[in-house]
Structure 1
Amino acid sequence: VSVVDCVRDGARTEVLTTNVNIRFQVEDTGIGIAADELPKIFAPFEQVGNSPRHTEGTGLGLAISHQLVEIMGGELKVESTLGRGSIFSFELELLAVDSTDKNKKYYPKNIKGFKGTNKKILIADDRWENRSVLIHLLEPLGFEIIEATNGQDCVRKALEFLPDCILIDLVMPVMDGFEAMRKIRNFSQLQNVVAIGTSASIMEAEKQESVEAGCNAFIPKPIRAEELLNCLQVHLGLEWIYEELQYPNAESEVFHNQSQIQPEEIIAPPADEIALLFDLAMMGDLGGIQKQAEKLAQLDIKYVSFANHLNQLAKNFEEEKILEFVEKYRN
């Protein structure tokens, strides 16, 4: 349990807080899912089974739900019996607030950046969705992000860009994070770079091996935003810049959808670029779509509106809308 001071209009309110685990569960009595099909149900555009009951969907709902739960620090799980139904569940660690002023809402300060010089962070992970989550967390705070898809790529880009920090997955193809870190520490120009190892394993032996390989810290997956930001603050010596406390009222505009662009403003790129984007959309590769959108914006100024719209959809995990948008320009 912790005590937080909340200040508004010169008045200080003491708020008692504690973390609690909340379980969310949805159970149905539908057709169920076969055991051999369970591993692929969270993949984009996957529809398991051969029943005509699933033909109206796009196969994106569970993929998006899985990503959103991971971003919030949980894990979406499924139990299913064919012919009897399924149970989907996840747990989140949430903040319980007990205020002496029951009518006053407490809005914690949000980090919006950091003071001092620019910081470069190299994210090494073979899964685009893991990189995407970290990019969406760190880029808005002002960090310059470089991506690597395996350990070998990480070593090469560390030498090329000389980052201030490396976030490295310890289990990757081609070259794992342990070997990559040992190689990185052999270069004099990378001796002092901060390295944070990440892994879904929480075995003490793996944590120790990551430190011996050259990591300064270890964070288990799924990575929690608060834990990562605290780790970066300590090891990079950061001083955060916070947003002002805001207390929204009912008359204020809550949400503005930036992705609403009039069709006449958009000029589509050449057919080969559209074909590539369509392939990326079919794979659910949001990271690849964002990279391609950046290239299009640099290719010709007339494609900027197209690229911006595509990039905004990708940032919002609008996979179905991306596919619809790209399909409009295929012919």
Structure 2
Amino acid sequence: MAPALPALYEHGDHSLVLALVRSHLVNALPLYSTLRTPGYPVHVWATFPAFDAAGQPVLGTEDDGLWLVLADLGNQLRFYCSYASHDKLSTEQRARGEELVAGALRRYLLEHHNGRDRISIGAVPDMWTSCISRNFGECFSASTIHWVPLDKLPPVAINGATAGASVLPGGMVATEGREEDITEILSTSEVPHPPSYLSTRLPYTTVLRQPCAPSSASSAGPPASTPSIILAHCTTHRDGSIGTLHVSPAHRQRSLGSQVLLARLHTMASTPPCHVTDDDDDSRASGYGFCYVHKENEPSRRLMQRVGMSEQEGEVWWCRVKLPLAKQA
């Protein structure tokens, strides 16, 4: 039987949604970071129409604190269901939660597919994978979330600065990504991101570079002002997660993975999030850095531990959905 389709309400005021979702951290971290990440607008919908004076969702008397918020990133949906914060659910609560998750996602995809032929549902917690699989397709890519509050980062050594770059120990510099870096990032990423997407993320990419020695004393023109040899790189994605982390094979065993990850996290900590004003209590200190790590990737898990990240219990999954959805009886 098809799940009931609950009403969905658009919420243009993201600050109220952020405050609500923040109270459910760290379970709601993928959605929370999606809403905070700068550089890309997202549309937010929820199963409740408004907030009361205390900033809580307005629910019916029968709803028992059950609500759902979802965000549309264009190629992917992220959602959070309030029951995910419960330590234990009764059989009836689990059934109600699954019906709300499946019904809300189905309604949104029926009414807002916007000509897309496919979309992903991302970072689905273990507890909802069975209802996602039954209604939309098999879940895949089990990963764990590693996270750290951005105001609790270990320090990163910086020896100085030059135009558009920070000078690190050993003469390396850290810069933003550049268009000429996209080929390198694509060739080293496990996920086949479109070049156009990576182009939009270059301001949110950190690259460690090695200075180039002058080719000869008689070379015409001024020396290069910035180096071009890439040692390591990583990117903050639209949802706030850090990915595409790679260290050049010729430069491993030098702790460059830790250095590039910490440099990216410190840059995130100094970047104002979206939808936050000066008088908003959702300050930069309430931000988090996190990564998705495949559960069998032990080297990456050790790297996250070295930079002070905690590992969240449980796994998250992804599901690819073909659009438009067929209407069910």
TM-score (norm 2): 0.25
User: Structure with the greater relative contact order (CA < 8 A, sep ≥ 6): 1 or 2?
Assistant: 2
TM-score (norm 1): 0.25
